[in-house]
Amino acid sequence: MACTGRILVWWDRDVDSNGRPIRSDVRLAAQEIWQQAYQQTMAAVGDYGPAAELMENTVAQVSRYLDRKGVPLSSRKHGLVMVAFCRALRRYARKFSRLEAVGGACELARCASLTNCVAQADARLEFEKLVEKLSPRNAEILMLRAAGFEWKEIAAFLDDSVPTLRNRFWREIYRLL
């Protein structure tokens, strides 16, 4: 994390990662909103780190968009760049929030040293808990799948179509998770 009072900079380049030129009006707008974008990144994810990469990608994206639309160079692109940056930041924050830390180095080392049979026993217990929560039909489907049967074979056995069977099964699984 950066020290208080210091602001990281992003790599302001003339070309994007594919070698396409980046518009000067977009680069100027990004430079002028950088501090605000930097602070919003800290507020959204609790870290300044991703701000630079998000801004680099945003500048390249907005530049390509304006070139594709044939928009002439002008000095007022601040709003467009900020909106694009905020969207990228929200996508990043959603993705970041889905990640779940499993622990520090000590916890990871301990998990790695567990024997395979303990992990298998835990998996078996979780499997049994899941089977208990499922409807009888979907529990049967899960047991057949665990036994190695294909969806087509299960559908024939239960006299149903594969898509219908699979959709009902996964819908219930997602609802339980």
Q: Map tokens 């395979």 to a residue.
A: 116
Classify residue 19: in a domain, yes or no.
no
**Mean pLDDT value across residues 5-27:** 75
At 168 the pLDDT is 93
- Name the pTM for this structure: 0.52
**Mean pLDDT value across residues 66-84:** 85
**Mean pLDDT value across residues 8-30:** 80
In a 13 Å sphere around the CA of 60, the CA atoms on its Cβ side amount to 18
- Is there a single domain that holds both residue 32 and residue 84? yes
Query: Which conformational region is residue 4 in: left (phi greater than 0), alpha (psi within -120 to 50 degrees), or beta?
Result: beta
pLDDT band at 12 (very low <50, low <70, confident <90, very high): confident
In this structure, are residues 39 and 80 in contact, taking their beta carbons and an 8 Å threshold?
no
Q: Is it the case that residue 100 has pLDDT exceeding 70?
A: no
- Is there a single domain that holds both residue 85 and residue 119? no
Residue numbers of the domain that contains 168: 112-176
Q: b/e per residue, 30-47, with b = 16+ CB within 10 A?
A: beebbeebbebbeebbee
- Is there a single domain that holds both residue 123 and residue 62? no
How confident is the prediction for the chain on average, in pLDDT? 81
Identify the CA nearest to 69 among candidates 131, 121, 103, 26.
26
